[in-house]
Amino acid sequence: MSKRSIVPFGPQHPVLPEPIHLDLVLEDEKVVEAIPSIGFVHRGLEKLVEKRNFHDYMYVIERICGICSFMHGMGYAEGIERIMDVEIPDRAKYLRTIWCEMSRLHSHLLWLGLLADAFGFESLFMHCWRMRETILDMFEASTGGRVIFSVNKIGGVLKDMDNSMLRTFVDMFDKMEEEVRQLTNVFLKDYTVANRLKGVGILTKEDAIINGAVGPMMRAAGIATDTRKLGYAAYGDIDFDIITGKDCDSFARCEVRINEIFQSFNIIRQAVAKIPEGPIAVDVKGNPNGEAFVRLEQPRGEAVFYFRGDGTQFLNRARVRTPTFANIPSLVKILEGCDFADVPILVLTIDPCVSCTER
Amino acid sequence: MAKITKSPWLLHYDGSSCNGCDIEVLACLTPVYDVERFGIINTGNPKHADIFLVTGGINEKNKAVVKQLYDQMPEPKVVVAVGICACNGGVFKDAYNIIGGVDKAIPVDVYVPGCAARPEAIIDGVVKALGVLDEKQKAFKAAKKQKGATK
Ligand code: SF4
């Protein structure tokens, strides 16, 4: 047996926009064990719930993560609405659905870009991010922000998208779809990409279940789970299939996310076609008293929110189980036995969002 | 800033940011905002870097990391704090694990406001940093000369 050595990976590393630290135990060029250590981005924002009024806490919880900021805000709003028994207007539900899918689109394009960067395909990275900017422009036009939107409120949403804006967006998405198709064809058909991704980082169905994977990690292993099917917001009225892969490798995960991009275009189109007229928010009076669980499908997988209030204006507990946190055991699993040179790609295939994980 | 005489390289580190400012920093490097036209490149190696962009506040665990990265960068160097978190802690100021802005760990030269800091603001901050870098370079050269003269 050759000698073992331990190589630290991170917290600052060229492929990582965010700090995560792994101690890699190597035997020659093979990783035999990976020991993650997290906590570099820990802020303790769940505890902040005791110091902020429950309306104001919306602005804190959105800042769990700048990529899914909309969905974190929405999870919080849904939780408090459930505790207070508030039924939000239908139009608000549809608007939330549209913004959710736009978040998924920009998140998946961002991830594709980072993945391309990780295997050294710089121009592909730039193209992905160029397309993503179109979606950010739409966000800016509809919410006023590029990454932090602050458009959720308990009882609905703060801003409306009028019908001409929605139609323009659909036109833009139609145009974009063609472009995105060309772009993703590179991922799916280029042999250099296939070389780096096919057969790398296999997470079998059994392992995915044992390690409690979520989101595209789970779906790429052939297991159809998608919390959108629970029908929160307007998802109940929308017709979509759960996208799964079958090869369980990094390529399958890439494929699943690419198909989800087109699925999101589709969901937005359906939502725009069905969106009813009406108010966008209802007034909320009183303080939350009780507890609620909310499950949402974020771009990285299922997020679970828990909130408890005691009738005062400060909640006494907020807890978020974010998808990347759930995917870390699977990451450790796929790192075992991989080549040292594949580590950056494998870290990226779980689509890590460290600021979510550590909050 | 009259003209850019060097092509400064960036080192980006995420302190304890929410990611919002990080993706905006990356957005600066990609086609729409494209700071590469100024010769600015994002490098992962602190020893190659002139400008240190830090997003997010400082906590117990990353204080040492930020400090170590800063120490590894060669003189002269400039630090830019991106986003209100990096300036003073921002929304997380009262959170138990946040010590404060980046200036609690290392000296900061330029503060970029915003939550999230807009790419335009980040570019503006970087351009300001270039001015600071120029001055520091002059001072650094002068000090070196003097050292040579006294020898
Ligand atoms: S300033 Fe705002 S957007 Fe930037 S890292 Fe802090 S909370 Fe996130």
- Domains identified in chain B and CATH numbers: 9-150 (3.40.50.12280)
- What does the DSSP assignment read for B22-91? HHHHHHHHSTTT-GGGGT-EEES-GGG-SEEEEES-B-HHHHHHHHHHHHHSPSS-EEEEESHHHHH-GG
**Does the pLDDT value for residue B23 go beyond 80?**
yes
> pLDDT of A87-117, one tens digit each?
888 888 888 888 888 888 888 988 888 888 8
Nearest atom of ligand 1 to the alpha carbon of B117: 4
pLDDT value, residue B3: 66
**% of chain B with per-residue pLDDT over 90:** 0
Mean pLDDT score of chain A, rounded to an integer? 84
Q: Which of A13, A38, A43 to mutate to test the interface with B (most CBs of B within 10 A)?
A: A43
Q: Show me where the domains of chain A are located.
A: 42-335
Residues with CB under 6 A from ligand 1: A 63, 66, 148; B 17-18, 20-21, 55-56, 83-85, 90-91, 115-116
ipTM of the complex: 0.78
Q: Model pTM?
A: 0.85
How high is the pLDDT of residue B116?
A: 81
Residue B2 reports pLDDT greater than 80: no
Q: Is the CB of A17 inside 8 Å of chain B's CB atoms?
A: yes
Query: What DSSP character marks residue A241?
Result: P
Is residue A14 over pLDDT 70? no
Classified as helix, coil or strand, A34 is strand
CATH number, domain A42-335: 1.10.645.10
Identify the pLDDT of residue A54. Answer: 83
Q: Please check whether residue A146 touches B, CB under 8 A.
A: yes
pLDDT score of A55: 84
Q: Which residues have C-beta within 8 Å of that of residue A259, sequence separation ≥ 6?
A: A243
Q: Measuring from atom 5 of ligand 1, which residue has the nearest CA? A: B17
pLDDT at B1: 52
The predicted pLDDT at position A15 comes to 66
Laid out side by side, the sheet with A4-9 consists of A4-9, A21-27, A30-37
Does residue A1 have a pLDDT over 70?
Answer: no
Q: What is the pLDDT of residues A132-147, one digit of tens each?
A: 888 888 888 888 888 8
Distance CA B100, CA A127 (A): 36
Q: What mean pLDDT do residues B20-48 have? A: 82
Q: Which tens digits make up the pLDDT trace of A298-347?
A: 888 888 889 888 888 888 888 888 888 888 888 888 888 888 778 888 88
Of all residues in chain A, the one with the smallest CA distance to B100 is A43
Q: Mean pLDDT, chain B, as a whole number?
A: 82
Q: Which residue has the higher pLDDT, A108 or A49?
A: A108
Across the range B78-107, mean pLDDT stands at 84
For residues A67-86, average pLDDT? 87
Q: Is A34 exposed, middle or buried (0-12, 13-18, 19+ CB in 10 A)?
A: buried
**What average pLDDT score do residues B5-24 get?**
82
Kindly tell me if the per-residue pLDDT of A11 is higher than 80: no
Instruction: Centre a 10 Å sphere on the Cβ of residue A236 and count the other Cβ atoms it contains.
Output: 12
Q: What is the pLDDT of residue B151?
A: 59
SS3 state of residue A107: helix
